[in-house]
Structures are given as structure tokens and as C-alpha cells.
Amino acid sequence: MGLDFKIPNFKFPKMKMEGIDKIGEVNVDYDKIQKNMEKENKKNYPGSNYQTIKEIFLESTEKYKDKEFVLEKYDHKEPYTEISFKQFREDVIGLGTGLTKFLNLKDEKIVIVSETTYHWYISYMALLCGAGIAVPLDKELPVNELENVISRAKATAVIYSAKKKEHINKIKDNLPSVKYFIEMYSDDELKGRDIGFNTVLNEGKRMVEAGDNSYLDIEIIPEEFKVLIFTSGTTSKSKGVMISNKNLAANINAVNPYVKIYPSDRFFSVLPLHHTYESTIGFLLPMAKGCSIAICEGLKYIVPNLQETHPTAMLAVPLLVENLYKKINASIEKSGKSALVNSMIHITNALKSVGVDIKRKVFKEIHDNIGGNIRIIVSAAAPIDTKVGKWVQDIGIGFLQGYGLTETAPIAALTPDFDPRVGSAGKAVVGDEIIIHNPNEKGEGEVWIKGDTVMLGYYEDEEATKEVVHDGWFNSGDIAYMDKDGYLYITGRSKNVIVTQNGKNIYPEEIEIMLGKIPEIQECMVYGKEVEGEKELIISAKVIPNKEELEKHGKNLTDEQIYKIIWDEIKKVNKQLTSYKAIKNLEIKKDEFEKTTTMKIKRYAELEKDKEKQE
């Protein structure tokens, strides 16, 4: 499921960092330090024991009814609109009633395909709380794949946004089993199979006002199949993952002991909602905790939206965090304050180790540029350069890493905020067990997961389910080792592993992180290239150059000059690698990598292109 994701070009003003050299002598309050150190314990926070999302929905929308919940911008020139928990509750119950009673869609599969919008949240919640089975789809799907997945899901209704209308109109006639096409933010009356979302919602609200409580009375069985998610996958044919209410509720129960979240927190939603990372941790979790969610208008608006909504928490993928890191540091470099910033990082780290934290004060200008209030950034979906995670912590932001898959809805491991250990993907969450299956001499093996977050199975594919689930243990296909404290360190994906003739395993991700540190490289993919007449795969790198960095070497460089500059840098990396891992072949890529919506490169798609070229 493709997405040509272009790295957002963040714009930051030249950071003057004026206050940094004016920080006077810090008054150390030793009594306070003593108290802080006594208070500092590395124990889990109190947990929760939810069984269904409906239970969470009813509790939080009542408890926080007067609080703002979703902030959305309907017009770029206008300020954000705030929607309360109370309104959200009424809209979910209204839509749920409209879907089940007005359109008679109870227990049917309903597709949601749209950008992140308030109507997406209402749709998903109405389905989770009893209206039917939610099938959230990637809004970037090409028309033929959209049609194929709606068919495979046997969906009887499609809820879509105006931006998807053209796609829907093209495939409607090929989908006779779909009873209704419901357009978000539309007031259209029922005409054939088309109806406006607001019409369904308002009809449902009228029924509720007339005393119809049938939707609220629907009882949810925790283990019941409630969400069908098609993985963007590492194979070309996506699998349908069946998720229950219990899987999702277990994710909320899993996060609570590791991360302290307050009703005053505001999450910034920038990742696509059809992905479980964003829909579970970026939507269901803040709802459970009484937080608000600010919807980002789009990648090019990240910085202005952060500055307008002042969020405290952001879920990200490594590409996003790394890009923020690069842009902010380039801006500091322009101001000539890099050395000073680095020395202040050392000083503030030393002070923090004795209980004095003045990081937010010292690095105020950096914080102000990203909204002023960010206290947590969570990175997941792929490994990140430890240096970047460390820098996030160094400027005074909690940096957490999570690990999981669609099949674990998604969190299976998480770094606790009281002991984050940058570089690790975290410890098994409460309610899950993780083991390293068949470890090698280095302790590396496949990650197997067991517990309440593990899916029900693959949709209509018993064989595929049996391949990955053994006696309740889910085989993730990821390769990792675990330290003595149970912290997980992911080193690669078994499907991506390059095996040499003498049985050595090379994990491309490990080399990609090293290449990612080369400023002249924007993005890269390492793989084993098949060459005719050669038994051994040739370790190769496809590279997209970083034009801004290359300009420092001279204007209007030729392809040959670009190749030489990058190859010289790669040779330096090769010196740090054992010989069998060294890169032997470089390809400069002119176009973008094909990506999944969590910005992972689709290796199989890139390798297919290579095969086609050779043929």
C-alpha cells in the first residue's frame, strides 16, 4: 500500500540563542535535590484494567465532558475549532444510532477512508462501540487497490471524505455489494446509494432524542472481531489483521504503567489514522486520559500548527524526528552558536544528574519554535539513530520509543518515561510477554510476543495465521536481542536479512543508520543485489542525495561529482564495518523511494523495480 512520502521541508528562523549565554550562576537548592532524589523511583505507575473501548468512551466522555477534545482547522486562514468531549459523545451515539437503526448496518463491515478529520474519529468510535466492524484504509491507496480492498473486506458501506470522492465515483459501479457511500461533512439526502454523513448523524440524533437507546444498549464482547486493518506489509499482498476491543483496551492498559499522561496534555496528530500507532496511541489513549488532540493540517504546516496549538506530546516516526533535528541544528549553526549550545548541553546534563533541571529555560528558543510545550516525543515504526534521540533528551524533551506491529494493535514494548534508555525499543508492556526465539551466539533471534495485545488472526487466511502464531506466541519477524533488564534492541527484520554464502547474517537497518549520519545522504536503502555470474549477493546502497549539503561542495555538481562525494563518505563508513558487511556498490537515486504510510521504504517494491530493469 503505497505512499510517495516527501520529507517535509520545515522552515525555522535563524535561531539567535541569545538567552543561552546570559544564564547566570544557577542557585542550587540542595534540600530540593535531596527530596527529588528520594522521590525518584523506577516503579511502574498505577495501571488500568479496561476490557472494551466502549467502557473507556462512556467513562471519559462523562468525566471530561466540559473539556476540549479535538482541535481541527477547517480553513487554513481561520483559527482552530475546538470540539468538546460532550459534543464528541453526542455525535458518536448519534452516528452509531444512525448507522444501526436508520441504515440498518449493525455488525456490517464499514470502510473509513479519509485524511485525519473529526468525522474519522466519530466514525471509528461509533463502530468500536457497537455499530459494526471498522475497516480503516490508507487514503493514499490507488483506485484499483482501494476497490480491491473494499471487495476483499466484503464491506457494505464506505465512509469517505470529499477528497476521495473522485476515487469513489470511479469504483462505485464495480462494488455492487456496497449498500451506502457516506460522504463526510455532507448534508445530502439519500439518493440511490449515496448519502451525506450529517444526514445519518442527524437522523440518529433524532431517534435518540425520541428515546431510542438501542445503540447504547449494545453489549460489546471484549474478544469480538471489531477492526479489520490491512497491513502495508513487507509483502506485496497485504494481509487483513483482525483486532478485537480487548486488543485495543489492552494497549491503553499497557501504556498507563509506563508513561504518566495528564488531562492537561495535548497530543499533536501528524501521522495517518488508518495506522494503529496513531489510531490507538494518538486517539484512543488521549481520549481515555481526558487529553485533547490537535490535528495537523498537513506536513507543510507542521511548524505553524505546533506554534498555534502548543501541544505537549507528539507521536512520530524516525524520519520526522531526524528531520526536525537536522533543521533545528542547521539553524543554530547559521547563528554561530553551535559550540555554545553543545557546552550548555553538557552543563545542563550535569545539573540534571543532581536534580536541577533548567533545560527548558536554557533551550527556550528551540522549544518556542516547536510550540513551547512539547514534553514527550514518541518514536516508533523503525529504528532511529541514538544520537538523535539523545539530542531530544538533551534539549529537555522526554524521548520514548515504542515497538509493535499492526498484529499487536500496535504496542508490544515501550520505554518507560522513568527509565527511557535511548536506543532501546523498550520493555514488554504490562500484559504482554516477549521472548527472543532461538538466539544466536550474540543473543539475537526472532521476537516472539504473547498477550492481550496480540491479534485474533489474519482475515480469511488461516494458513498465514498458523505461520506466525505458535501456541499463542506471535512471531513478529523482527530480529532483536534483550538486555538483562528486559529491554529490547531491534537489529533488523528477518525478511530483509542478507545471508552471505558462509551463513553470516547482515541486517540492512544497522548499516542504514550509519549511512544516515552522512550529511550528504537524504535517505538510503541497503540491500543484497543479485549479479549474474556471482554466487554472493553484492551489498549495495541506493541513495537519495541531500541537495542542500551537496551545495556546500560547489554549485551545479555533475552526477559523477555527486557520486564521488557520497562514495568517499561511504568508504569511511565501510572502515567501521566488518569486511563482509562493507558496501560494494552505490546507486544514486533520482526519484523518491516508494513508502508505506509510516514512512518505511517498501523494499520489495524497490527490488521489483530493479528486477524489471534487469529484464
Return the pLDDT at 30: 54
CATH number of 53-65+75-219: 3.40.50.12780
Structural domain boundaries in the chain? 53-65+75-219, 498-614
User: Global pTM?
Assistant: 0.84
Minimum mean pLDDT among 201-215, 223-237, 243-257: which range?
Answer: 223-237
Q: What is the maximum alpha-carbon separation in the chain?
A: 77
Residues ≥6 apart with Cβ < 8 Å to 269: 116, 278, 282, 283, 293, 294, 295, 296, 315
- Over residues 492-527, the pLDDT tens digits come to 877 787 877 666 778 788 899 899 999 999 999 999
- Amino acid 311 reads P
The CATH number, out of the four listed (3.10.20.30, 3.30.450.40, 3.30.300.30, 3.30.70.270), of the domain defined by the range 498-614? 3.30.300.30
pLDDT over 80 (residue 359) = yes
Q: Compute the average pLDDT of residues 602-610.
A: 79
Contact 430, 441 (CB under 8 A): no
Q: What's the grid cell of residue 352?
A: 540534571
Q: What is the rounded radius of gyration, in angstroms, for the C-alpha atoms of the chain? A: 25
CA 310 to CA 369: how far, in whole Å? 10
Return the pLDDT at 28: 55
Minimum mean pLDDT among 188-197, 364-373, 385-394, 529-538: which range?
Answer: 529-538
Q: Which of 204, 269, 207 is nearest to 72 (CA)?
A: 269
List C-alpha distances in Å: 210 to 97, 201, 206, 408. Answer: 12, 14, 6, 41
